């Protein structure tokens, strides 16, 4: 049977599970906000632990926190960072605004662990206090935006960009593999002048590459932190030495170059940099979604549609149609991209909803962005490994379609004019003949000239 201890806060007494490292404010959060069953992402708490450790070291260097408490807080933060206390962070994504619940969850867990490390019992806050010591020189209003930026930056660096690079390389390898395959191009879902399969896949590769550049540019804007701004940006209860020391510690831990914002007020009032990242994620998702849609079309069939490429067979496709195989990985990444695009709308609305000195919707902003990063990272890597890397070309189907491509008549424009070339194309369609056959029948140019002009490879490689 679970025992309890009684703790108190400004609202009175609270029953907290005896073995829990969290305290009364976390317990009230658990009681009040049983909304979605979705917890705040654990990386937020791990990033908060980095910040609390950096703050403790900074406050010690600044002479505001004694060595014994600073060391205990730092050791407690290391416990959080080692995943040993993950179950202490149970609060719902949908909580009181600004992230006070999240910040206090960390403050209480770190404080009680530090108390224990110093030989005390949970709840003996005279030894280490969640607000007075763990939260020293800080406010939720400057730490939550700082944590959000650090967590998003690191997630992009460590997860999303490597996954997108893998997808880009996979598309590049396919582009090289398909360089000698000329096929019918398509515009408006109708036959168009020839392209190579290499050219199509090079477009896909560059779409990913270009969106990665936009994402990297947006990521760099997250390096500016409002740390030290405390409640409203003016730095009450903190000083410049603290913020400098804290940033130095954070950079040592992350290997990055975070810096204190030149104007903390704007960083605390606005979520523009986060919105920029969200927009960049939407661009990434839009690019990948288009690629997946094209791959589904090009592989459609296998007998009654385009069927120019074949995808790796990873899943049975039907519970009733025997042997049916669907483009499951492309469908998966489509859904990932649709969710990311939808999350961008949430971030936009939340960023647009701030009032005066802070934006109280930071918790949902950081959740949506981190969730988008996670699913795009996992989805892109899986799409590369289980779909793109195993695509093969249906050369016989491509060749057959190319022979009958009506748009080859485009190359005749400069020799016989658009109107006559149009007549030839339409007659070829009516009589189910190739453009070259009709040209020969009508005596349009000699065969040698036609062989040169109507060469699909020559048309496809003009660029």
Beta-carbon count within 10 A of 206 CB: 15
pLDDT for residue 462: 67
316-328 pLDDT, tens digit per residue, is: 998 999 999 999 9
Task: Summarize the confidence of residues 373-379 as an average pLDDT.
Answer: 98
Question: Confidence band (pLDDT; 50, 70, 90) for 458?
Answer: confident
| Structure tokens given for 332 | 């998966």
Cross-strand pairs, 392: 310
pLDDT for residue 463: 52
Question: Confidence band (pLDDT; 50, 70, 90) for 260?
Answer: very high
What sign does the dihedral 20-111-145-257 (CA atoms) show? negative
168-194 pLDDT, tens digit per residue, is: 999 999 999 999 999 999 999 999 999
pLDDT for residue 394: 95
The answer on pLDDT for 208 being more than 90 is: yes
Task: Summarize the confidence of residues 242-271 as an average pLDDT.
Answer: 95
Domains of the chain, residue spans: 4-136, 142-229+263-395, 404-460
Q: Has 318 been annotated as catalytic?
A: yes
* CATH class assigned to 142-229+263-395: mainly alpha
pLDDT for residue 27: 97
Cross-strand pairs, 225: 260
pLDDT for residue 213: 97
* Residue 20 exposed, middle or buried by CB count within 10 Å (0-12, 13-18, 19+): buried
Considering the candidates 126, 188, 304, 396, report the single residue annotated as catalytic: 188
273-290 pLDDT, tens digit per residue, is: 999 999 999 999 999 999
Task: Summarize the confidence of residues 34-40 as an average pLDDT.
Answer: 95
Cross-strand pairs, 316: 325
When the pLDDT of each residue in the chain is averaged and rounded to a whole number, the result is 95
The answer on pLDDT for 211 being more than 70 is: yes
8-36 pLDDT, tens digit per residue, is: 999 999 999 999 999 999 999 999 999 99
Cα distance between residue 297 and residue 293, in whole Å = 6
Considering the candidates 8, 82, 318, 399, report the single residue annotated as catalytic: 318
330-366 pLDDT, tens digit per residue, is: 999 999 999 999 999 999 999 999 999 999 999 999 9
The answer on pLDDT for 104 being more than 90 is: yes
The answer on pLDDT for 1 being more than 60 is: no
Task: Summarize the confidence of residues 195-219 as an average pLDDT.
Answer: 97
CB 289 within 8 A of CB 281: no
108-118 pLDDT, tens digit per residue, is: 999 999 999 99
The yes or no reply on domain 404-460 and CATH 1.10.40.30 is yes
* Residue 160 exposed, middle or buried by CB count within 10 Å (0-12, 13-18, 19+): buried
* Residue 186 exposed, middle or buried by CB count within 10 Å (0-12, 13-18, 19+): middle
Cα distance between residue 422 and residue 420, in whole Å = 5
pLDDT for residue 460: 83
* CATH class assigned to 4-136: mainly alpha
Q: Are strands 224-225 and 259-260 parallel, antiparallel or unpaired?
A: parallel
Mapping DSSP onto H, E and C, the string for 58-76 reads HHHHCCCCCHHHHHHHHHH
Task: Summarize the confidence of residues 112-134 as an average pLDDT.
Answer: 97
Question: For the chain, what percent of residues have pLDDT higher than 70?
Answer: 99
Q: At what angle do helices 272-298 and 197-220 cross, to 10 degrees?
A: 170
Q: Has 188 been annotated as catalytic?
A: yes
Cα distance between residue 258 and residue 223, in whole Å = 5
Contacts 24+ apart (CB under 8 A), 425-431: none
Please tell me the pTM assigned to this model.
0.94
Cross-strand pairs, 325: 316
CB 357 within 8 A of CB 319: no
Q: At what angle do helices 140-155 and 362-386 cross, to 10 degrees?
A: 10
Helices (H) then strands (E): counts for the chain:
18, 8
63-100 pLDDT, tens digit per residue, is: 999 999 999 999 999 999 999 999 999 999 999 999 99
pLDDT for residue 457: 86
pLDDT for residue 459: 81
């Amino acid at each position: 049977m679970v025992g309890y201890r009684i703790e108190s806060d400004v609202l009175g007494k609270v029953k907290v599970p005896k073995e829990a490292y969290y305290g009364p404010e976390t317990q009230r959060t658990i009681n009040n906000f049983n909304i979605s069953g979705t917890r705040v992402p654990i990386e937020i708490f791990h990033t908060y632990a980095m910040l609390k450790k950096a703050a403790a070291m900074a406050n010690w260097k600044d002479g505001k926190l004694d060595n014994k408490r600073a060391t205990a807080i730092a050791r407690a933060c290391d416990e959080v960072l080692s995943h040993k206390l993950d179950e202490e962070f149970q609060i719902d994504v949908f909580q009181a605004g600004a992230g006070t619940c999240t910040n206090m969850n960390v403050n209480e867990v770190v404080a009680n662990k530090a108390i224990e490390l110093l030989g005390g019992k949970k709840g003996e806050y005279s030894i280490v206090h969640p607000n007075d010591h763990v939260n020293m020189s800080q406010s939720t209003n400057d730490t939550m935006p700082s944590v959000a930026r650090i967590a998003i930056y690191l997630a992009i660096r460590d997860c999303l960009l490597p996954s997108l690079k893998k997808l880009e390389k996979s598309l590049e390898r396919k582009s090289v593999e398909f360089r000698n395959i000329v096929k019918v191009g398509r515009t408006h879902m109708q036959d168009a002048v020839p392209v190579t399969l290499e050219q199509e896949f090079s477009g896909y590769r560059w779409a990913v590459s270009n969106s990665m550049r936009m994402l990297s540019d947006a990521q760099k804007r997250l390096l500016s932190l409002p740390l030290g701004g405390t409640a409203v940006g003016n730095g009450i209860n903190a000083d410049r030495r603290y913020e400098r020391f804290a940033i130095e510690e954070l950079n040592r831990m992350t290997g990055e170059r975070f810096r204190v914002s030149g104007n903390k007020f704007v960083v605390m009032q606005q979520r523009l940099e986060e919105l920029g990242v969200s927009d960049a994620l939407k661009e990434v998702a839009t690019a990948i979604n288009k690629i997946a849609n094209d791959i589904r079309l090009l592989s459609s069939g296998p007998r009654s549609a385009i069927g120019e490429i074949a995808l790796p067979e990873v899943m049975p496709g039907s519970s009733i149609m025997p042997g049916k195989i669907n483009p499951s990985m492309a469908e998966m990444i489509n859904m990932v991209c649709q969710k990311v695009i939808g999350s961008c709308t949430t971030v936009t609305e939340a960023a647009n909803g701030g009032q005066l000195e802070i934006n109280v919707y930071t918790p949902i902003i950081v959740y949506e962005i981190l969730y988008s990063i996670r699913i795009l990272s996992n989805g892109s890597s899986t799409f590369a490994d289980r779909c793109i890397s195993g695509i093969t070309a249906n050369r016989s189907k491509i060749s057959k379609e190319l022979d009958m491509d009506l748009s080859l008549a485009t190359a005749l424009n400069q020799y016989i004019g658009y109107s006559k070339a149009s007549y030839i194309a339409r007659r070829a369609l009516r009589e189910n003949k190739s453009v070259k056959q009709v040209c020969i029948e009508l005596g349009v140019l000699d065969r040698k000239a036609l062989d040169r002009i109507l060469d699909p490879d020559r048309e496809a490689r003009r660029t």
